[in-house]
């Protein structure tokens, strides 16, 4: 089975590694507009070869879209000539606008997926073994995908060790805003707040594990996350508003020296890790 991966960064490159490690005889063809990424993908053995044109990708049995979410929408418009048996899977962090953009003639070909995994790094050199192992992949609006495409997508994700969760695209985007997108907004905000108040020497000398953990994802690709914030704008704004309410509650308790209430508020937050 030939698998064409459009986008050879962290997600696409790691998927190439995962598929090449399986007993199933997948032949991985990569495609990326960045010539350096293509060269690195070959050097790092992320793919078997790199396609010269999109025609080679269109001819694949499976096409993986592992690029920023706006790029996914644009790419879908160029895939309307695929065979009826072809499976197209996107790995975008938002789902509703992507699903709405799929041309009707290839809707059955398409499977909307969001692997809940990643790191703050990007590019082919960020690709790592086992990125997908034991992680969750959310599959959205599967009733609109063809039976063959559903089977192929489920099989691929199970083969690379993922746990499958199913929900609607609209529901996914609301949950993702709170659990993924808003935390990125907070990390970017934290990094900017500290850099605008502290000199680099103080940051280097005093930054401990807590600050490093909370600011780590501020190293994520601005290009990718601008697209995510743009596509999930309304849900993200709602999530940020809820966070602001909690931060203001904390501020008020500190201002008013309500230490018992602050302690209870912190204890409520501790319960999150009873769930995780």
SS3 59: coil
- Rg for the chain (alpha carbons), in Å? 21
How do the domains of the chain map onto residue ranges? 2-167, 172-275
Residue 112 near residue 140 (C-beta atoms within 8 A): yes
Q: Is 22 helix (H, G, I), strand (E, B) or coil?
A: coil
Burial class (CB in 10 A: 0-12, 13-18, 19+), 225: buried
How many C-beta atoms lie closer than 10 Å to residue 247's C-beta?
Answer: 11
Task: Say what the pLDDT of residue 87 is.
Answer: 98
CATH class of 2-167: alpha beta
Cβ pair 66, 7 in contact under 8 A:
yes
Q: Which residues of 97-131 are buried (b: 16+ CB within 10 A; e: fewer)?
A: bbbeebeeebebbbbbbbbbbbbeebbbbbbeeeb
Residue 138 Cα distances to 114, 160, 166, 171, 212, angstroms:
5, 14, 6, 11, 28
Q: Are 185 and 236 in contact (CB under 8 A)?
A: yes
User: 172-275 architecture in CATH?
Assistant: Orthogonal Bundle (1.10)
Q: Given this model, what pLDDT does residue 120 score?
A: 75
| Residue 56: per-residue pLDDT | 95
> Would you give per-residue pLDDT tens digits along the chain (276 residues)?
999 999 999 999 999 999 999 988 899 999 999 999 999 999 999 999 999 999 999 999 999 999 999 999 999 999 999 999 999 999 999 999 999 999 999 999 999 999 999 887 888 999 999 999 999 999 999 999 999 999 999 999 999 999 999 999 999 999 999 999 999 999 999 888 888 887 776 776 667 777 778 888 888 888 889 999 999 999 999 999 999 999 999 999 999 999 999 999 999 999 988 877
**Number of C-beta neighbours around residue 187 at 10 A:** 20
Domains 2-167 and 172-275 share a fold: no
Residue 229 and residue 236 in contact, taking contact as beta carbons nearer than 8 Å: yes
β pairing state of 136-140 and 163-167: parallel
């Amino acid at each position: 089975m030939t698998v064409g991966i459009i986008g050879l960064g962290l997600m696409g490159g790691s998927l190439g590694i995962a598929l090449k490690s399986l007993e199933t005889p997948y032949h991985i063809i990569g495609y990326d507009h960045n010539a350096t990424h293509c060269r690195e993908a070959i050097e790092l053995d992320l793919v078997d070869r790199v396609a010269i044109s999109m025609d080679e990708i269109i001819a694949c049995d499976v096409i993986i879209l592992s690029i920023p979410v706006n790029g996914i929408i644009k790419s879908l418009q160029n895939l309307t000539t695929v065979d009826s048996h072809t499976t197209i899977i996107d790995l975008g962090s938002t789902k509703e606008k992507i699903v709405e953009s799929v041309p009707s003639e290839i809707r059955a070909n398409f499977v909307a997926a969001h692997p809940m995994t990643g790191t703050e790094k990007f590019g082919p050199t960020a690709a790592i073994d086992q990125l997908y192992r034991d992680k969750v992949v959310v599959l959205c609006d599967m009733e609109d995908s063809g039976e063959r495409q559903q089977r192929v997508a489920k099989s691929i994700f199970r083969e690379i060790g993922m746990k499958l969760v199913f929900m609607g695209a609209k529901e996914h985007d609301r949950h993702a805003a709170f659990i993924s997108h808003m935390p990125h907004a907070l990390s970017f905000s934290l990094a900017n707040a500290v850099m605008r108040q502290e000199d680099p020497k103080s940051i280097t000398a005093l930054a401990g594990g807590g600050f490093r953990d909370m600011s780590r994802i501020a190293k994520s690709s601005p290009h990718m996350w601008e697209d995510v914030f743009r596509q999930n704008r309304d849900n993200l704004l709602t999530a940020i508003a809820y966070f602001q309410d909690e931060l203001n509650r904390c501020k008020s308790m500190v201002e008013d020296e309500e230490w018992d209430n602050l302690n209870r508020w912190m204890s409520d937050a501790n319960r999150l890790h009873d769930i995780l």
